[in-house]
Amino acid sequence: MADEMNYNNEQIVESLTQPDASTVVESPFCASLRSKKFFMMDELATDASHYLDSSNHCWCRETQLVVGPDGSRAMPTRCVPGRSCYSSALES
């Protein structure tokens, strides 16, 4: 009985400390948003200025165009959670 209780306690602790695999934390920008400046970063972009340089040129990694799969322009202000083609950069 004590072994069974220990096992149940371990399951409870594990469920509280391990994130649910179906829950994905949203990043500020889509994982497919790209720019020249993006390739010079060594961390996750948290601000539009991390993408934009003087050219303001961004593109979608999925389409390789300045428009995303949904036909809208690829820009930091538009490639955010809620857009139909958005995917989190934090998703594994």
Q: Which residue has the higher pLDDT, 15 or 42?
A: 42
Please write the tens of the pLDDT for every residue from 30-67.
Answer: 999 999 999 998 888 889 999 999 999 999 999 999 99
Question: What dihedral angle (degrees, nearest 10) is formed by the CA atoms of 77, 34, 28, 80?
Answer: 50
Over its C-alpha atoms, the chain yields an Rg (Å, rounded) of 19
pTM here is 0.71
Buried b (16+ CB within 10 A) or exposed e, 1-28: eeeeeeeeeeeeeeeeeeeeeeeeeebb
- pLDDT at residue 87, as a whole number: 94
Contact by Cβ (8 Å): 71, 88? no
Burial of residue 85 (number of CB atoms within 10 Å: 0-12, 13-18, 19+):
middle
